[in-house]
Amino acid sequence: MAKYIVEQSGPLKGEVHISGAKNAVLPLMAAALLSDDECVIDAVPHLRDVSLMKEILSSLGSEISEIGENALSIKTEDIKSTELNKDLVSKMRASILVMGPLLARKGRVRIPLPGGCAIGARPIELHLKGFEILGAVISKSENNDYVEAVAGGQGLIGDQIYLDFPSVGATENIMMAAVLAEGTTYIENAAEEPEIVDLANFLNKMGAKIKGAGTDTIRIEGVKKLHGAKHTVIPDRIEAGTFMLAAAITRGAVHICNVEPDHLKPIIAKLRECGVRIEAGDEDITVRGDLGPHIATDIKTLPYPGFPTDIQSPFMAYLTTVEGTSTVIETVFENRFMHVSQLGKMGASIETAGNRAVIKGNANLRGCNVIATDLRAGAAMVLAGLVAEGSTEISDIYHIERGYEKFIEKFAQLGAIITKLDD
């Protein structure tokens, strides 16, 4: 298995360009299934998850080609299958996002229960509940490894849907199913993440009629047909947050380009509480971790616009290096403290009880062999490795490469010493 070797690197300095958002591009690619015209998506990051989604779409009948460095052309004149490949789906949870488009366009979909990061149960019941309210009949195989949704003879019918939790995936999936439904659909207690807004903007370019994306109530007026469109993916706010923390933990100074500062407000606020100086422009941020003492703070993860769960583990790595004791409360995923044991191997003092972690600062971190237990935990290990004495060997790095484009190259630009050892 491939590994990263991370050396103690000193303060990171320089400029880094943020890629298109992983969590935005995957639903955008799925949405291209809704039209038989060509869709062009720009600022597509080169990631393992993007490659998997390309394979999934191709298996359904999409013709996909690369245009230049970071653009994809997706055209699906005819959907050849409404059943997804189990091997592909098992590798990525976001594969479930094709359910809504297939149900809308073909009236049926059969999908194995998906995989992805092991950070919690992340049940798909909210997705299925939404499809049911729109008129689909849901059935599961005897051993519960497949789920099937079939629209009635009249197709999908718009209705009022209340989500018990503002799930991003469920909001996206239901929104994509509803764009071709007859009548009007309301999604209440909808997720408000920027990725939801990005998807709605793309669908509206395709001819959908969606209002309210980015609020807790989304209105979708069904249309008969969608056409092709061109769209640029929003910058990745989690990648941006990771590099902000890299500057902070190494006490460096980093200029981060191609960001939406409004998407980063909770991360900016918490870093400022810790003593980090941040200057935000229209599309860039400068992070100064070299200007004074760093002190503890408390964090509680929440759905957007609250503090993002995806940045919790990298932020915890940083909190091991500040003065004082910090508390982190995780409210989104029940299994998102798996990185704690790995940070403990490196000398961090972290106590957990349920969804609460208490982090003692000023840890003397030491390099050792650790595991990337999931995507963001992997990023946390890298950040800790940058300031730990000696070398840190990180295994299971395929998790990291699912979500960060040109990871080593970007860190190297800032002076980090990270080497990849291939199998």
Q: Which residues are catalytic?
A: 117
Our measurement of the distance from residue 41's CA atom to the centroid of its chain's CA atoms, rounded to an integer in Å, reads 17
Instruction: Measure the CA–CA gap between 270 and 413, rounded to whole angstroms.
Output: 26
For the chain, helix, strand, coil in percent to 5 are 35, 30, 40
Helix, strand or coil, per DSSP, at residue 365: coil
- Do residues 311 and 241 touch, judged by C-beta distance below 8 A? yes
Helices 194-205 and 168-178 pack at an angle, to 10 degrees, of 10
- Do residues 267 and 278 touch, judged by C-beta distance below 8 A? no
Instruction: Measure the CA–CA gap between 239 and 383, rounded to whole angstroms.
Output: 13
- Do residues 422 and 397 touch, judged by C-beta distance below 8 A? no
Q: Which two tokens stand for residue 415?
A: 């002076």
DSSP letters spanning 93-139: GGGGGGHHHHHHHHSEEEEEPP----SS---SHHHHHHHHHTTEEEE
Give the end-to-end CA distance of the chain in Å, rounded to a whole number. Answer: 5
CB burial string 169-201: b at 16+ within 10 A, e below = bbbbbbbbbbbbbeeebbbebbbbbbbbbbbbb
Residue with tokens 């100064």: 288
DSSP 17: E
> Interior CA angle at 377 toward 235 and 420, to 5°?
85
